[in-house]
Amino acid sequence: MHIVADENIPLLDEFLGEFGRLTRLPGRLIDHTSIADADVLLVRSVTRVSAEMLAGTPVRFVGTCTIGTDHLDLAGLDAAGIEVASAPGCNARGVVEYVLSCLLTFAERSASRWQDRVVGIVGVGEVGSRLATVLQALGVKTLLCDPPRAERGEPGFADIEELIRHCDVISCHVPLTMDGPHQTRHLFDGSRLARLRPGTWLINSSRGPVVDNTALLDVLQRRSDLLVALDVWEHEPLVTPELAALCALATPHIAGYSLDGKLRGTAQIYQALCRFLDVPATMTLEQLAPRSGAGEWLVEPGTPEDWALTRALRLVYDVRDDDARLRAMLAAASSEQASREGFDRLRKDYPLRRECNLLRVITAASEPQVARRVLAAGFDSGGVE
Ligand SMILES: NC(=O)c1ccc[n+]([C@@H]2O[C@H](COP(=O)([O-])OP(=O)(O)OC[C@H]3O[C@@H](n4cnc5c(N)ncnc54)[C@H](O)[C@@H]3O)[C@@H](O)[C@H]2O)c1
Ligand SMILES: O=C(O)[C@H](O)[C@H](O)COP(=O)(O)O
């Protein structure tokens, strides 16, 4: 069997070596020619895959080691009889840690408490529901918007217009859809962006086109009260430098880039391939994933709870580092091509980042005298399950 795979998928040899020949390629270079004799194609989000691309090749299984599937022509692949698998929820924890780090940073910059804000979550699936659970555990008021779930009769959802009217923070966690009753392309268009409450914090870590980037640039040129964090960009890997300059936080599509999230993605696709081939899945993530190191959280007994929590969350993940790296790359890039390559390089050479069990951290923060021990346990066991 010949497997062609994106070179940025970790643990390929370990999980898939036994199946046959592996060819690794940069995701953006995978095309019809490179899969001419491939049986299996494994991608990440930067490779667009359609039935036309696979026509005349032996490929019968396409796996994407990502949550998002907007780069796959799902209907066309289904009609062509190609098996498709994705990795639901694989890096959802990392995205939640990213959003919390944005909230801490915005609170520092605006000298306000993020816990007192009403947070609107648009899209309440794997990521949005985990985010809601963590925020609610912190006593933060949330408003949830998910029309597809509401239409299925599930209670507790608000309309997007209600979020715009009532929320101080809006975080987007929808899939990118180009049409249909719940289209998310330009869900935040010029009209909705202009109507955000004064001082709103807007975070987009879903897909770039969910927010109309041209309209956002226009709004940010007129309104300095908004604090915006963009992890995803409408024309990735190209970032509009003027837009990045007006965003309070700008990162290169790394919200979910924990090692744990990437490893889970590979493991989920390995399991799907084993099911497709009707062979037992003998490898497990627990056998292959490196143990994570214990976290250092030096909090003296009696430290105020807020401060203890901030220290802990910063240790788990600090978005300011990724923001600084993207800005340095944009400042150094001498052309659009250099900027595109720089964006991809930041993602390829992403530093090691491990996940944590946030609910355990939150519990620990209210008992600072035991906090350090509990956080260390969180780092150890929060990795790969
Ligand atoms: N930046 C990153 O690193 C990163 C990481 C992971 C996922 N993502 C993106 O985030 C998206 C969401 O991830 P997830 O795991 O939560 O996906 P999910 O499929 O589990 O949940 C998405 C939710 O959005 C809802 N939804 C669909 N259309 C909507 C609309 N118009 N308005 C409101 N809600 C709507 C769905 O009903 C669903 O509940 C992914 O599709 C992916 O594109 C980005
Ligand atoms: O959809 C996802 O899972 C994320 O957006 C994922 O982190 C994208 O990473 P990439 O595939 O581009 O490496």
DSSP 162-184: HHHHH-SEEEE-PPP-SSSTT--
Query: Mapping DSSP to helix (H, G, I), strand (E, B) and coil, where does residue 63 land?
Result: strand
> What value does the mean pLDDT take over residues 113-118?
94
Q: What is the whole-number distance in angstroms between the Cα of residue 266 and the centre of ligand 2?
A: 12
pLDDT reading at 382 higher than 50: no
Instruction: With a cut of 50, say whether residue 383 has pLDDT above it.
Output: no
Q: Can you give the pTM of this predicted structure? A: 0.95
Any atom of ligand 2 within 6 Å of the Cβ of 66: yes
- The pLDDT of residue 155: 97
Specify the amino acid at residue 237. P
Radius of gyration in angstroms for the set of CA atoms belonging to the chain, rounded to a whole number:
21
Q: State whether the beta carbon of 241 lies less than 6 angstroms from ligand 2.
A: no
Which residues carry a binding-site annotation for substrate?
45, 66, 257
Query: Is any atom of ligand 1 closer than 6 Å to the C-beta of 91?
Result: yes
55: which 2 tokens? 């026509």
How far is the centre of ligand 1, averaged over its atoms, from the C-alpha of 181 (Å)? 16
Q: What is the pLDDT of residue 381?
A: 46
Check residues 150 and 373 and name the one with the higher pLDDT.
150
Q: In testing the pocket of ligand 1, which one of 127, 163, 182, 239 has its CB within 8 Å of the most ligand atoms?
A: 127
Distance 150 CA to ligand 1 centre (A): 15
**Cβ of residue 174 lying under 6 Å from some atom of ligand 1:** yes
- Among 67, 74, 29, 25, CA closest to 49: 74
Q: What number does the ligand 1 atom closest to the CA of 88 have?
A: 15
Atom of ligand 2 nearest to the CA of 256: 7
Catalytic annotation, residues? 207, 236, 253
User: In angstroms, what is the span from residue 273 Cα to ligand 2's centroid?
Assistant: 19
Residue 203 is which amino acid? Answer: I
| Percent of the chain's residues with pLDDT above 70 | 92
CA–centroid distance, 184 to ligand 1, in Å, is: 10
Atom of ligand 1 nearest to the CA of 256: 3
Determine if ligand 1 sits within 6 Å of the CB of residue 127.
yes
Inform me whether the pLDDT recorded for 377 exceeds 60.
Answer: no
| Backbone φ, ψ for residue 236 (5° rounding) | -50, 140
Average per-residue pLDDT in the chain? 92
| Residue-wise pLDDT tens digits, 274-303 | 999 999 999 998 888 877 655 556 566 666
Q: Is the CB of 268 under 6 A from ligand 2?
A: no
Instruction: Indicate the annotated binding residues for NAD(+).
Output: 146, 231, 256
For residues 145 and 121, the answer to whether their CB atoms sit within 8 Å is yes
Ligand 2, pocket-test mutation among 253, 266, 345, 350, most atoms within 8 A of CB: 253
Other Cβ atoms closer than 10 A to 311? 17
In contact, 173 and 206? CB cutoff 8 Å? yes
Q: Tokens at residue 192, please?
A: 């909705």
Q: In what order do the strands lie in the sheet containing 169-172?
A: 142-145, 119-122, 169-172, 201-204, 227-230, 249-250
- Cα gap 233→155, rounded to integer Å: 32
What separation in Å is there between the alpha carbon of 32 and the centre of ligand 1?
A: 29
Q: Is 378 in the pocket of ligand 1 (CB under 6 A)?
A: no
Indicate whether this complex's ipTM tops 0.90: yes
- What is the maximum span of the chain, computed from C-alpha positions, in angstroms? 68
Query: With a 6 A CB cut-off, is 259 part of the ligand 2 pocket?
Result: no
Section 106-125 average pLDDT: 96
**How far apart are alpha carbons 47 and 188 in whole angstroms?**
25
Cis amide bond preceding 88, omega within 30: no
What letter would DSSP give residue 18?
G
8-state DSSP, 41? E
For 94: left if phi > 0, alpha if psi spans -120 to 50, otherwise beta; the answer is alpha
State residue 385's pLDDT score. 37
For residues 330 and 274, give the distance between their C-alpha atoms in angstroms, rounded to a whole number.
42
Q: Which residue is it, tokens 């370990």?
A: 14
- Mark out the alpha helices in the chain (DSSP H runs): 12-16, 51-54, 74-79, 92-110, 126-137, 147-151, 160-166, 190-194, 213-222, 241-246, 259-277, 285-288, 305-316, 319-332, 336-348, 358-365, 368-381
